[in-house]
Amino acid sequence: MLNSIEDTLHKNCLVGLSYFNAQEEMLKQTILAGKVIAVDKKMGITIALFDKEMKATKQSANFILPSDLSCWFNAPQGEFHTSQKEVKIVNPDYLVTWDIYQTKEHQNSTKQQWWHWRPRSEVPQIG
């Protein structure tokens, strides 16, 4: 169990993201994998995304998650594939799941979209 945000630092994680529109209809699901490289209670948890060699480098894209730890669970051992072609993770430390909702109906593609992140606090089912 994680006691503080700092416990995630330098850990590998598999991140499941489910996106929903304002009517709560699922738009898409994405699975990412990477290593936590920075933590900040206000800014969130920064993950350097893995490449196909399961490496996070200085050139890796970063993805920032909210700092809520209620959706971080110990991961089972195994090999997991992500949504990115040829990217996988073997024996991650944590599984992390978030549901992300549009806050209002998307009217015009040129306007800013706002999203509300909700931690999925039940243990993810694998397999």
pLDDT of 121 reads: 86
| Higher local confidence (pLDDT), 105 or 31 | 31
In the numeric block, the tokens 């072609």 are attached to 85
38-79 pLDDT, tens per residue? 999 999 999 999 988 888 877 889 999 999 999 999 999 999
Mean pLDDT of the chain: 90
pLDDT, average across residues 114-126:
85
Residue 107: pLDDT over 90: no
Confidence band (pLDDT; 50, 70, 90) for 108? low
Report helix, strand or coil for 28: strand
pLDDT of 63 reads: 96
pLDDT of 10 reads: 96
pLDDT of 80 reads: 94
pLDDT of 111 reads: 64
CA distance 20 to 111: 18
Q: Is-contact 28 43, C-beta < 8 A?
A: no
